[in-house]
Amino acid sequence: MASSQVIILAIIATSLATFISRFMGALTSEKVSVKSKLFEWFNCVAYSTLAALLGRMIIFPAGVLAESALIIRLIVLVICILVFVLSKKNLVIPTILSAILLSFFNSL
């Protein structure tokens, strides 16, 4: 089998897996109460996974982020969390500020 055929099959398989799970979620979403214990559990799992990924990116970065020092990444993290809290949980401002601060501190 040619490599282009393998790539096409991989795209089809991953697309089917993604769309089937989303379709099933859309079908069953009306039956799940937002206040149920099951929904809270899934919410906790999603947030813990996100926290673990962000922690990994900060402590063990890959790519360009690995060129900055750990202390710089931690300083930017603390500043952006403070801005997030002070800006009434606005996500845009800390996201843009993090890129600006990282580039500024790395250029020093």
Query: pLDDT of 15-26, one tens digit each?
Result: 998 999 889 888
CB 59 within 8 A of CB 70: yes
The pTM score is 0.65
CA separation for the pair 7, 18 (Å, rounded): 16
Lowest mean pLDDT among 33-37, 64-68, 98-102: 33-37
70-86 vs 92-107: helix crossing angle, rounded to 10: 150
Structure tokens at 25: 């979620």
CB 90 within 8 A of CB 84: yes
